[in-house]
């Protein structure tokens, strides 16, 4: 199993530090959602097929979930082989999971700022 706690990241903590309590409840889910991503970015993004002979099942992609409470969100993947993919398949373009999160953090912060801005305008 792979597990990332969103409150342990330095960038996330710095961003949340000055937010009012209610805004944190809007920002954290948005950060998690962005980091999990989709076909274009984040943990659910697969590298392009490069000479691979296997048929993709997308089990790994669909294994990423967000769990925990509003202020204690965790991103997890319980697919048994998930921890091994970046090491065994790096030559096919797979990156370490922490590197994927790190490279997507700026986008996650932009998304959270935008969502908090919408929330504040609605008040």
Q: What is the pLDDT of residues 3-48, one digit of tens each?
A: 988 766 787 888 888 888 889 899 999 999 999 999 999 999 999 9
Q: Does residue 84 fall inside a structural domain? A: yes
Q: Does residue 123 fall inside a structural domain? A: no
Q: Does residue 41 fall inside a structural domain? A: yes
Q: Does residue 67 fall inside a structural domain? A: yes
Q: How many other C-beta atoms lie within 10 A of the C-beta of residue 110?
A: 12
Please give the structure tokens belonging to residue 1: 């199993």
Q: Average pLDDT in the 64-69 region?
A: 92
Q: Does residue 69 fall inside a structural domain? A: yes
Q: Does residue 56 fall inside a structural domain? A: yes
- The span from the CA of 35 to the CA of 49, in Å, is 22
Q: How many domains does the chain have?
A: 1
Q: Does residue 57 fall inside a structural domain? A: yes
Q: For residue 101, give its domain range.
A: 2-111
Q: Does residue 118 fall inside a structural domain? A: no
- Quote the pTM value: 0.90
- Please give the share of the chain, as a percent, with pLDDT higher than 70: 98
């Amino acid at each position: 199993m792979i597990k990332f706690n969103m409150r342990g990241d330095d960038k996330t903590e710095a961003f949340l530090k000055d937010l009012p309590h209610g805004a944190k409840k809007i920002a954290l889910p948005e950060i998690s959602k962005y980091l999990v991503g989709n076909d274009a970015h984040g943990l659910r993004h697969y590298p392009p097929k490069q000479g691979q002979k296997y048929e993709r099942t997308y089990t790994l992609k669909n294994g990423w979930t967000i769990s925990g409470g509003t202020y204690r969100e965790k991103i997890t993947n319980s697919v048994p082989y998930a921890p091994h993919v970046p090491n065994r398949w790096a030559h096919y373009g797979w990156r370490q999971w922490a590197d994927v999160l790190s490279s997507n953090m700026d986008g996650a912060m932009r998304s959270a700022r935008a969502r908090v801005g919408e929330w504040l305008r609605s008040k």
